[in-house]
Amino acid sequence: MLDRTEEGKRLRLSSPGGTALQIGAVLAVAFVSWRFIEATGAEAFLLRLGPRAPLVSIPIHVVLSATPFPSEMVGLANGAVYGLWLGAACSWLGWWCGAVLEFTLVRRGTRGIEASAGMGRFPRWLSRFPVGHPVFLIVGRQLPFGFHLVNVLAGVAEIGSTRFVVCAAISNLPYAWITAAMGAGLVASH
């Protein structure tokens, strides 16, 4: 997708200006979604939508998980509204697509940045693995704030897309299962 600027030059979405535009759009959607869910409550929001809820909750989950805004409330609401299995599937899909979105935005928006600069945020034993190693891509995501750090470092290091997508799919399974179970348990306890 290309846009024309005033000087007649093309602004590519992979250029710094295009990437800033993409990031701005994602942040705007995330902020609006977060404020709406915050005001109404995630569970009430999903219940009001009925069978159409996954068509709305999954894209909101994707956008929220690719930003600094918390997406755990959507994961809990998925478990509360859809039950354990469907809730876990919706949460997994939201976090997986969010990881791919964040990775892609970072990969397109950064060139020439050294990925090793962010390795100090991980435990020493995990930092021994290169950014592209499956152990780093899967286990690093399980640590606090590891989700975003792994996505960003993998994007900066320009890890192969297939490896990242597969490792993100595997690494999101436990968290999706846990949050859906917690959400389903909240409903069962009432």
- Angle, alpha carbons 46-52-54 (nearest 5°): 65
What is this structure's pTM? 0.71
pLDDT of residue 35: 59
Question: Exposed, middle or buried: residue 6 (CB in 10 Å: 0-12, 13-18, 19+)?
Answer: exposed
Nearest of 32, 177, 157 to residue 95 by alpha carbon: 177
For residue 105, pLDDT beyond 80: yes
Q: What is the pLDDT of residue 165?
A: 96
Is the pLDDT at 6 greater than 60, yes or no? Answer: no
Q: Regarding predicted confidence, which is higher, 20 or 34?
A: 20
Bridge-partner residues for 11, per DSSP? 3
Q: Decide which of 160 and 36 is more confident.
A: 160
Mean pLDDT, range 184-190, rounded to an integer? 73
Is the model's pLDDT at 50 over the cut of 70? yes
Q: What is the pLDDT of residue 2?
A: 36
Among 20, 166, 169, which residue's Cα sits nearest to residue 105? 20
DSSP track, 83-129: -HHHHHHHHHHHHHHHHHHHHHHHHHH--S--GGGGGGGS-HHHHTS
More confident residue, 54 or 104: 104
Average pLDDT, the chain: 78
**Residue type at 173?**
L
User: Where do the H-state alpha helices sit in 13-52?
Assistant: 16-40, 42-49
Q: Is the pLDDT of residue 97 over 90?
A: yes
pLDDT value at 19 more than 70: no
Q: What local confidence, expressed as pLDDT, does residue 57 receive?
A: 79
11: left (phi over 0), alpha (psi -120 to 50) or beta: beta
Looking at per-residue pLDDT, the higher value among 13 and 18 belongs to 18
Q: Is pLDDT larger for residue 180 or for residue 128? A: 180
pLDDT above 50 (res 178):
yes
